[in-house]
Structure 1
Amino acid sequence: MTETALSDVVSCLSDYDPNALPVALAQQIIRSFIQPVNAIEKVTIRAALDRVLAADIVSPINVPAHDNSAMDGYALRGGDLVADTALTLRIIGTAYAGRAFDGAVGNGECVRIMTGGVMPDGCDTVVPQEFTQDASDASVTLPAGVVRAGDNRRLKGEDLTAGRAALQKGKILRPADLGLLASLGIAEAPVQRRLRVAFFSTGDELRSVGEPLDAGCVYDSNRYTLYGMLTRLGCDLIDMGVVGDEPAALETAFRSACENADAVITSGGVSVGAADYTKQMMAQLGDVAFWTIGMRPGRPMAFGRINSGGRSAILFGLPGNPVAVMVTFYFLVRDALLHMMGASPAPLPLLRASSQAAIRKKPGRTEYQRGILSTDASGQPQVRITGSQGSGILRSMSEANCMVVLHHGQGNVAAGAPVDVMPFEGLL
């Protein structure tokens, strides 16, 4: 497949300005530039959890295979029912789950049936046993109006029909999907190869956990949040540690990451005024754009493709501030990686909640403020900001349970006004 040049993608956009790029346009460019990784493997269904399905799964059977009972009760002919009239039926046998009744049911007859039992010939209705009266080994009475023709019957193929897609390519397999595969007798599933992602932090001031903290230095938190977010996506990870602001070390790191991974994520070294080595190395090794995105936190970002040793990898150069790393990852990188995996992700859901206090906001940029979502006395959703929203305050992300999304054209928010909220549950 011929690789698309980033310049070709942005040349089609009349409003492209790398120094003032709206979030939605950045997302569009990223999605247009990247391609799924085409590598498929077969795994057992126990190993398929959270993997991306690489082909449609076509049901080889009908599920259920026969009309069957949804209740413990009595199977009967719906034509025997008479409105406003009790009905007494003769019991001629029993149908168990996994052991069908061998025979036909005539007028005025019924068969005792267990949940999941195959409907006997001639029967189309089940009356639950708790709705009956005067039951004996020989007969049972149905009071008037307790059941209608066709009630409590599961139809053949009602869940899945043989020959139709049970699961579609691009679906991320969840626990229910594993059960569905098992219900079809399918032991293995074709899935996309796990995406390999290399990541490292840049900066002479950074120290890894366990190292002494010299004056003016800080511990690197970004690799740990990236590790958690990438693990949740099901990527294979290459943690390359901290790389100092030195050209040879940076080149070695970029080349190694490129030659061993499908995507490379860095944090730090892309903002205005930062040491130029990181940006120079990105530009030297590939087709990379440097953006100032209309978002807060997370304005500076690099995106493109780098090349080394005959291989290429997609590059995401994220800012260095801890909260900015998480925000840019979730709103610009996450969907791109899922697309590379071959997944078909739905947009992250937004809820509406009333703001408990006024929020200051300038139109012309998208803001992501950390919030705490709860319910008021009437059970309606409400949200409050965690406090200071500085992009270096990682504690705010730890305390929050949601992100308040203030859109590009939106201005100040009055207390009590509705805002869009993205819950962290299932995301973080």
Structure 2
Amino acid sequence: MSDRREFRDLASPDTVRKIIDDLPIAALSETVSLTSARGRVLAERVDADIDVPGFDRASMDGYAVRGQDTFGASEAAPIDLERVGAVHAGEAPDITVGSGEAAEISTGAVMPSGADAVVIVERTQEHDDGSAVRVRDAVAPGDNVMIAGTDVAAGTRALGPGTQLTPREIGLLSALGVESVPVRGRPTVGIVSTGDELVRPGSPLDTSCGQIYDVNSYTIAAGVEEAGGETKLYPHTGDDYDEMERLLIEAAGECDLVLSSGSTSASAVDVIYNVIESRGNLRLHGVAVKPGKPMLVGELDGSAYIGLPGYPVSALTIFRTFVAPAIRSAAGQSDPQTATITGTMAVEERYTEGRLRFMPVGTVSNVEGETLVYPVDKGSGATTSLVEADGVVAVDPNTEYLAAGESVTVELFSPDVRPPTLFGIGEDDPVFSRILDNLSNPRYLAIGSREGRRRLRNGIPDIAVIAGEGNRSLDTVSLGSWTREWGLLVLTGNSANIEELADIIQMDQRFINRRADSGLRRELDTAVESLADDRDVSRRKLIQSIQGYERGAKGVESPARAVIQGNADVGLGLRISAAERGLEFIPVGIQQVTVEANPDRVEKPGVQELSNALDSNTTNIDSYPGYEH
């Protein structure tokens, strides 16, 4: 009578995946240097500790001036300004630009004190004796100047947990001065090939007794490395029970996952399942696929164990189908993609410069999973353009425009790049940033409520976060809303005794605002306009009496940091910022924040994930200072 052991009930592929998902494969997180971080996956969120750039700098060659001194200047009516020196990139300016003066400045140089704009060199002409410069163009404050924090604002969410670190993310981290980062651990995978017939490559082969070279150890090891794991090869073992038990127990003690190949079928000599049953927990024996039916899954001495079939094709098929995704998940790695993808333009993009253009683009999927492509262009000096873009589209010199719906080919920056599961644009909000941390692979551009509304109307993002403006005429679906308390931020002690918004008018206090595209800035503008009406003065006159009102910071945390660092006396901000940074808070108002979804994307998995996260965070929102659901 044959001593064969039949397969147990064959498991469905879905069942196999669920069982493997429950295995303890993940390794502990670790901290690595930036030079060793490529390809790793962030374990924690990284916030910007500094502004990028860290100073107001010229974005063009020309002359640093006071914008108001150029008002009215034109080709027909130029204005002469006294030349008071020059500032070059990499040096600290030692001059001050006063009324009626100008300083020569190069691209990237620090703006000298007193200057708030740059007239490009092509619109100027220096007098022969160098004493003055003739200006033939009017500029407004901020023209041709990159304000500190314009690229990345200190305190903002730079990269979230789960972000795979490619050269573009490492470039951003470098710009932020980050030296080392916390990353997900790479699971160590021990590989044991079984069978008396196996011989390692490089050793002599005796075909007369059926010897074959060990193929599986090397093909599976390559697959493990590709999936983000680290391999440890063990000597192959024959079909001897005691030797097999010894080797498997050794591997289990040293690795997060043990993979064996061979000895998984139901014959009398294939006894590996007996080892697992006696020393661990055999949870599955056999899967309903072809090839690859012989398969074991279980635990061995506290480590995960998976037994692959002996035939190389079957072993590789099972590995790629079931094991590689589990290793990628444990290491936080994304599914592999090709380096080129095809999509359709989400919006029209015009181009008339007559040169080959490598247009940075981002990608987002619609509810059907089709790829939509949108242009991303913040200027050559902006580090975040690389992070927000997935690749480039080569635009032919003779192309005048790319039409919405036109098919394009995207050259990805890396084969590892994947479209975000959720793409959002809108207001910078500290609580929403925390919610984003719970999502699988979101991309969110905190560029203001106004821009969020505009792009949502154009159909590019999945969602927009809008503060203070409500839904208005947008044809959207609301996923949730909350309120946040806003007001003025001052140092502890409030030496200027500011008690309300009106107190900063005509006071010798330096104020720092938010940018005009921010919903918080719009809330303040409305309050100031109301004050102007009460005092029967123009809004413009009231604004001019607040020192620094027109100076707008990008990030919601930027004003708080400016007050702490002594760069401003009063800042516009939220109660949560004051509470978390030890500042005093003077309340001014309550603002509603709404998450609006593109109606065509409501059923998209990433939008559903956000909707569920918003529901699960409902009871937590009230726990943040100044927030109410």
TM-score with structure 1 length normalisation? 0.64
Q: Which residue of 1 aligns with 2:296?
A: 302
CA drift of 1:347 comes to 4.0
How far apart are the structure 2 equivalents of 1:68 and 1:179? Answer: 20
Contact 1:223 1:241 in 2 (8 A): no
Question: Of residues 289, 293, 307 in structure 2, which corresponds to 1:317?
Answer: 307
How far apart are the structure 1 equivalents of 2:160 and 2:71? Answer: 42
Count matched residues. 331
Q: Which amino acid aligns with 1:333?
A: V
Question: Of residues 128, 149, 153 in structure 1, which corresponds to 2:145?
Answer: 153
Q: Which residue of 2 aligns with 1:268?
A: 262
CA drift of 1:160 comes to 2.9
Identity %: 33
How far apart are the structure 1 equivalents of 2:341 and 2:162? Answer: 29
How far apart are the structure 2 equivalents of 1:298 and 1:109? Answer: 80
Q: Does 1:162 align with 2:154?
A: yes
Q: Which residue of 1 aligns with 2:523?
A: none
Contact 1:35 1:339 in 2 (8 A): no
Q: Does 1:21 align with 2:12?
A: yes
Go from structure 1 to structure 2 and tell me whether the alpha carbon gap of 1:18 and 1:64 turns closer, same or farther (over 3 Å shift): farther
CA drift of 1:150 comes to 4.3
Q: Does 1:282 align with 2:276?
A: yes
- The CA deviation string for residues 54-80 of structure 1, in whole angstroms up to 9 with x for no partner, is 433333222221222233333445553
How far apart are the structure 2 equivalents of 1:97 and 1:323? Answer: 61
Contact 1:132 1:140 in 2 (8 A): no
How far apart are the structure 1 equivalents of 2:63 and 2:268? Answer: 78
Contact 1:258 1:306 in 2 (8 A): yes
How far apart are the structure 2 equivalents of 1:290 and 1:57? Answer: 40
How far apart are the structure 1 equivalents of 2:202 and 2:151? Answer: 54
How far apart are the structure 2 equivalents of 1:107 and 1:295? Answer: 81
How far apart are the structure 2 equivalents of 1:242 and 1:105? Answer: 77
Q: Which residue of 2 aligns with 1:239?
A: 233
- The CA deviation string for residues 107-134 of structure 1, in whole angstroms up to 9 with x for no partner, is 66443222321233454544554x4454
Contact 1:88 1:108 in 2 (8 A): no
- The CA deviation string for residues 279-304 of structure 1, in whole angstroms up to 9 with x for no partner, is 22233332233355465654543223
Question: Of residues 31, 49, 65 in structure 2, which corresponds to 1:60?
Answer: 49
Question: Of residues 217, 223, 242 in structure 1, which corresponds to 2:217?
Answer: 223
Q: Which residue of 1 aligns with 2:246?
A: 252
Q: Does 1:73 align with 2:67?
A: no
The residue correspondences of 1:73-152 to structure 2 (distance < 5 A) are 73-78=62-67, 80=70, 87-88=78-79, 90=81, 91-105=83-97, 109-121=101-113, 123-129=115-121, 131-132=122-123, 134-135=125-126, 137-138=130-131, 150-152=142-144
Q: Which moved more, 1:27-36 or 1:203-212?
A: 27-36
Q: Which moved more, 1:181-190 or 1:260-269?
A: 181-190
Question: Of residues 180, 193, 202 in structure 2, which corresponds to 1:210?
Answer: 202
Question: Of residues 36, 55, 78 in structure 1, which corresponds to 2:26?
Answer: 36
Q: Which amino acid aligns with 1:219?
A: Y
Contact 2:336 2:416 in 1 (8 A): no
Go from structure 1 to structure 2 and tell me whether the alpha carbon gap of 1:99 and 1:352 turns closer, same or farther (over 3 Å shift): closer
Go from structure 1 to structure 2 and tell me whether the alpha carbon gap of 1:123 and 1:250 turns closer, same or farther (over 3 Å shift): same
SS in 2 for 1:242: coil
Q: Which amino acid aligns with 1:57?
A: V
TM-score with structure 2 length normalisation? 0.45
SS in 2 for 1:276: coil
Contact 1:34 1:336 in 2 (8 A): no
How far apart are the structure 2 equivalents of 1:92 and 1:264? Answer: 73
Contact 1:21 1:291 in 2 (8 A): no
Q: Which residue of 2 aligns with 1:333?
A: 323
Q: Which residue of 1 aligns with 2:477?
A: none
- The CA deviation string for residues 74-114 of structure 1, in whole angstroms up to 9 with x for no partner, is 34455536697565553433222232434444566443222
Give the alignment's Cα RMSD to 1 decimal.
Answer: 3.8
Contact 1:197 1:262 in 2 (8 A): yes
Contact 2:23 2:304 in 1 (8 A): no
Segments of 5+ residues of structure 2 without an aligned counterpart are 1-7, 343-413, 418-629
Which structure has more RCO (C-alpha within 8 Å, separation ≥ 6)? 1
Go from structure 1 to structure 2 and tell me whether the alpha carbon gap of 1:245 and 1:315 turns closer, same or farther (over 3 Å shift): same
Q: Which residue of 2 aligns with 1:184?
A: 176
